[in-house]
Amino acid sequence: MEYGTKNHGNWNLWKALLIFVILLAAAMTNAASARATSCVYSSGSWADAALAQGQGSTFRITYDGTPSSSSANAISGLSDGATNQYANLATGVRFNPSGTIDVRNGSGFTAAANIAYQAGVTYHFILDVNVASHTYSAYVVFLFRQITLGSNMAFRSEQSSVPLLNTVGVISSSGGLSICNITLSSAPTTVAASTLSANVSSLNFGNTGLAAGAQRTVTLTNTGSSSVTISGVSVSGAGFTAGGASGLTVSPNQTATVSATFSPYTIGSLAGSLTITSNAKNSPVTIALSGTGVTSSTHSVALSWSASSSSVAGYNIYVSPSSAGPYSLLNSSPVPSTSYVDTNVLAGDTYYFRITSVSSSYQESVPSATVQAVIP
């Protein structure tokens, strides 16, 4: 009896610790459950995730999408209430069967940039939605860059008068699609006092050797009294690419530069457009692009490098006519080997090359040292 009395306080301590452990385990279980339900997954049937609050004006929604197949047929979008058919979706971001990402615009699909996707890779999407005007702009963050998929696109035709959006709907008829980390926030506000002006309304690349690559620049000037943030740079048209300025904030009376590259893969005249999206009152700014593909010279540059000491999905090869840049990406997807032959060079020109490694999650390393090639 005396032994039990002496340890009564210890027993109470152990009892308290036991209760604490049970509560901690319960809390951990609940947290794991919350994490599990933060994603919505579809494979062959519709799945929904209700928003924390219905949206009837302007707002931004972001989420991560991960397809299970490189040739999926999967779409995610916003609706008023539960979804059980495609017509319920006002917006739409699709991993299409051809292996690229596109977005819904009225009665069809479109894409301002050609973005190929891979199975198991997570893509971060940003949608700026205006329910009152029934329009939205869509972006994907890819290799640390925000790329415009479409600007001021119309809601799906069947939802052209929807008053409220309160649900994320997902369907994958081929492969699976997981949507996670759904986040709502206020839409970026337009800077009423500022205009982003381009120094040209069109760029003509002239005669360019097949896949040779000619580069032009556009200078953007903030002519207003408030800072402007450039949210996206995208191109349309076969053979045209662009880069630079996306994510930059341009102060009043300051400038930013966007580079456009023409690398034709066919002989003849080609046309496209360059679109710069920002929070300036005249956004988006569109520049017409044109050029003519001609037969290239027989010159080439053979590049080789040491393999990365880390596990990588491949390598990216960048080229520029100037050591100071800007540099343009040559390959459309990571190169799996440690060598690359650039046949897109012309006699008498000088080229500068850099290599980066790309991890399986599309994280890109810092560039290698610059290599110069002088074409005789």
3-state secondary structure the chain: CHHHHHCHHHHHHHHHHHHHHHHHHHHHHHHHHHHHCCCEEECCCCEEEEEEEEECCEEEEEEEEEECCCCCEEEEEEECCCCCCHHHCCCCEEECCCCEEEEEECCEEECCCCCECCCCCCEEEEEEEECCCCEEEEEEEECCEEEEEEEEEECCHHHCCCCCEEEEEEEEEECCEEEEEEEEECCCCCECCCCEEECCCEEEEEEEECCCCEEEEEEEEECCCCCEEEEEEEEECCCEEEECCCCCEECCCCEEEEEEEECCCCCEEEEEEEEEEECECCCCEEEEEEEEEECCCCCCEEEECCCCCCCCCEEEEEEECCCCCCCEECCCCCECCCEEEECCCCCCCEEEEEEEEECCCCCECCCCCCEEEECC
- Was domain 40-185 assigned CATH 2.60.120.200? yes
What pLDDT does 16 receive? 40
What pLDDT does 4 receive? 39
What's the whole-model pTM score? 0.51
The CATH number, out of the four listed (3.90.580.10, 3.40.50.1000, 3.30.465.10, 2.60.40.10), of the domain defined by the range 301-374: 2.60.40.10
Q: Which CATH number is associated with domain 196-294?
A: 2.60.40.10
What pLDDT does 147 receive? 79
What pLDDT does 252 receive? 87
What pLDDT does 79 receive? 97
What pLDDT does 11 receive? 38
Output the tens digit of pLDDT for each of the chain's 376 residues. Answer: 333 334 444 434 334 433 333 333 333 333 333 333 479 999 999 999 999 889 999 999 999 999 999 999 999 999 999 999 999 999 999 999 999 999 999 999 999 888 889 999 999 999 999 999 999 999 888 765 677 888 889 999 999 999 999 999 999 998 899 999 999 988 776 666 788 999 989 988 887 877 667 888 898 999 888 888 887 888 888 888 887 777 778 888 888 888 888 888 788 899 999 988 888 888 889 999 999 887 766 678 899 999 988 889 899 999 999 998 888 888 877 888 899 988 777 778 899 999 999 887 778 899 999 999 998 8
- pLDDT tens string 301-317: 899 999 988 889 899 99
Q: Do the first three CATH levels of 196-294 and 301-374 match, i.e. the same topology? A: yes
What pLDDT does 191 receive? 63
What pLDDT does 192 receive? 61
The residue ranges of every structural domain in the chain are: 40-185, 196-294, 301-374
What pLDDT does 34 receive? 31
